[in-house]
Amino acid sequence: MMTDESIDLNADVGEGCGDDAALFALVTSANVACGVHAGDAATMRATLRAARERGVVVGAHPSYPDRAGFGRTAMERTPEQIYGDVRAQIAALALVAEEEGVRLRHVKAHGALYNVAARDRAVADAISRAVRDHDAGLAIVGLAAGEQIASARAHGLRAIREVFADRAYRADGTLVPRSEPGALIDDAERAVAQALAFVRERSGETICLHGDGPHALAFARRIRDALAEAGVHVGAVELP
């Protein structure tokens, strides 16, 4: 039985796939698509309202301008272009959030941008600068031990280390690309064991629960139940 352990559970929402309503019953924070890789103003508004009703902490989920590829294709963008992309997307969501009386708490890059920022410091710095210049009180969520975490800290921002229960890892701590065999963990007990190991080893402050796979919700519920059984407190990361 674990004691004195705590973890946040997050999900990517407002993307028009998966079951956001079901995920809001399981997670404590959510990353809202900003209308570029998915969603639009109406989707952002509906998603923010649903999160508010459930008491789920929300943040922006900016991406490369790659709607056709759902933000999963790495693009040739300069750091200044990435800065502009990210800042504009945060601002778009922040405007709707203000209208809905919802406070944004963090920023988590989406898809290919997230993965590139985990290994490319220039990209990570562009994201960090965009977040800082919009609101230095926002935290940045990034791959644990990745460049985005180091960059956020270097820019004076709170960094929230993220781990994945349903993704396979390489030896260097990066995620196995979705294009490679075995990238997605399809065994619930393996996903649960990986989640519990991350908590036990204090590898991160938040676990991502995907909601867009055939067994995603079942996995998410099983992980949530396993954490409760292990005596792990599930709650959003506390920020100033």
pLDDT digits (tens, 9 = 90+) for 195-227: 999 999 999 999 998 877 677 888 889 999 999
CA–CA dist 87, 127 (Å, integer) = 8
**E strand or H helix that includes residue 46:** helix 41-54
The CATH number that domain 5-234 falls under is 3.20.20.370
User: Within 13 Å and on the Cβ side, how many CA atoms surround 91?
Assistant: 10
Distances (CA, A) of 125 to 10, 115, 130, 192, 219: 23, 14, 8, 33, 34
pLDDT digits (tens, 9 = 90+) for 59-114: 999 999 999 999 999 999 999 999 999 999 999 999 999 999 999 999 999 999 99
Instruction: Please tell me whether residue 33 adopts helix, strand or coil conformation.
Output: strand
User: DSSP letters along 175-190, please?
Assistant: BPPTTSTT-B---HHH
* Length of the chain counted residue by residue: 240
The full set of domain ranges for the chain reads 5-234
What is the model's pTM? Answer: 0.95
